[in-house]
């Protein structure tokens, strides 16, 4: 009750009067047909219909993981040194969320396809009330109890409405969201930077995804023009993980992480030496250099770096 009636804007709770009013309006709108009937007939029965997912404008770019809103948690200007109660648990949850995000498939249905199933005009956005009315009308018409021949149509209408009630219908991006991935990488940077001693006993399990991200970003032709780049944050995370403990440095070396970082370094260095410079290129080169500096403190990594010296020399010449 304290949270529901309060005003909060922290990495753990985002809730305020506007969000509360918005939620009440959505629920009232969903029950709009039933409320007047209940007043006139206290025995009126509610015809169940799932309420669509409520999308709060205040949470448009947020990502909730474990017990934290990651965008707020990564906002070091407003929430510097915000205490993380269980760093290991959060790291595990973030890695799981990252894997799920990377494996996310595009939606099997589009909004227009759902509208077609619900017999609504396509090309425009319909209010939740219109979608609900369309669903109820068709569900009553094709429900197998009333129309034994309408089961297939009823199931397709049901799937369309369930899609419109889900988050997928409100997402601008179908498939993995780079903004979510960036928040997860940045959160891990905070964890390894601030809780180095707590995480030191554990081998980092995210290198396969992290190095794949670096490879994909480095080979992207639109690297320096894309709206959300993951390369700088990924290189920074490499630095923090290998600075945390020796087992991470050895794991990065085994996964050929130093060579993969060298490819991204070369890509960005070529931009720095050209006519057009890039802030992203500068950040990647700095973070990659820090990685090599930290890695050089471990024998196997140092030997690998020495083997790569001719490549570095060619890049610098």
Domain ranges for the chain: 74-106+175-316, 111-170
Q: What is the pLDDT of residue 173?
A: 60
pLDDT of residue 97: 96
Tokens 């410079």 belong to which residue? 277
What tens digit of pLDDT does each residue of 290-310 get?
Answer: 999 999 999 999 999 888 887
Question: What DSSP letter does each residue of 243-280 carry, written as one string?
Answer: HH-HHHHHHHHHTTHHHHHHHHHHHHHHHHTSSS--HH
Query: In the block, which residue shows the tokens 């899609």?
Result: 163
pLDDT of residue 170: 66
pLDDT in tens, 86-135: 999 999 999 999 999 998 877 778 888 899 999 999 988 888 888 888 88
pLDDT given for residue 314 in this prediction: 67
Least Cα distance to 184 among 291, 288, 102 occurs for 102
pLDDT of residue 243: 94
CA–chain centroid gap for 187, Å, is 11
Q: Helix (H, G, I), strand (E, B), or coil: what is residue 14?
A: strand
- Residue 312: the pLDDT is 65
Nearest to 287 by CA among 176, 177, 185: 185
What pLDDT was estimated at residue 46? 72
Q: Is the pTM of this model over 0.85?
A: no
**What is the CATH superfamily name and number for domain 111-170?**
DnaJ domain (1.10.287.110)
Tens of each residue's pLDDT in the chain, 317 residues: 788 889 999 999 999 999 999 999 888 887 777 777 777 888 877 777 777 788 898 998 899 999 999 999 999 999 989 999 999 999 999 999 999 999 887 777 888 889 999 999 998 888 888 888 888 888 888 888 888 888 899 999 888 888 888 776 666 566 789 999 999 999 999 999 999 999 999 999 999 999 999 999 999 988 888 888 999 999 999 999 999 999 999 999 999 999 999 999 988 888 876 555 588 999 999 999 999 999 999 999 999 988 888 766 666 55
The four Cα atoms 243, 248, 249, 252 give a dihedral, to 10 degrees, of: -130
């Amino acid at each position: 009750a304290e949270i529901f009636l309060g005003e909060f804007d922290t990495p753990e709770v985002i809730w305020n009067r506007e969000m509360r009013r918005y939620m009440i309006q959505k629920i009232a709108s969903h029950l709009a047909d039933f409320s007047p009937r209940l007043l006139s007939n206290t025995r009126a029965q509610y015809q169940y219909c799932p309420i669509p997912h409520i999308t709060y404008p205040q949470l448009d770019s947020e990502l909730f993981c474990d017990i934290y809103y990651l965008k707020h948690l990564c906002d070091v200007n407003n929430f510097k040194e915000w205490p993380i109660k269980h760093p290991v648990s959060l790291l595990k949850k973030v890695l799981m969320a990252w894997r799920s995000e990377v494996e996310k498939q595009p939606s099997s249905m589009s909004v227009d396809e759902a509208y077609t199933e619900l017999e609504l005009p396509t090309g425009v956005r319909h209010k939740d009330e219109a979608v609900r009315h369309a669903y109820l009308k068709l569900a009553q018409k094709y429900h197998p109890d009333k129309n034994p021949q309408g089961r297939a149509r009823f199931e397709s209408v049901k799937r369309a409405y369930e899609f419109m009630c889900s988050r997928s219908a409100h997402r601008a991006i179908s498939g993995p969201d780079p903004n979510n991935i960036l928040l997860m990488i940045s959160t891990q940077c905070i964890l390894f930077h601030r809780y180095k001693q707590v995480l030191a006993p554990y081998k980092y399990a995210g290198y396969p995804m992290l190095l794949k991200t670096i490879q994909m970003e480095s080979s992207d032709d639109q690297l320096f023009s894309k709206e959300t780049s993951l390369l700088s944050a990924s290189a920074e995370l490499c630095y923090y993980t290998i600075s945390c403990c020796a087992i991470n440095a050895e794991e990065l070396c085994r996964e050929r992480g130093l060579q993969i970082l060298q490819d991204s370094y070369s890509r960005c260095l070529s931009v720095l030496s050209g006519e057009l410079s890039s802030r992203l290129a500068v950040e990647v080169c700095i973070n990659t250099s820090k990685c090599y500096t930290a890695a050089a403190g471990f024998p196997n990594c140092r030997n690998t770096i020495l083997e790569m010296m001719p490549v570095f020399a060619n890049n610098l010449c």
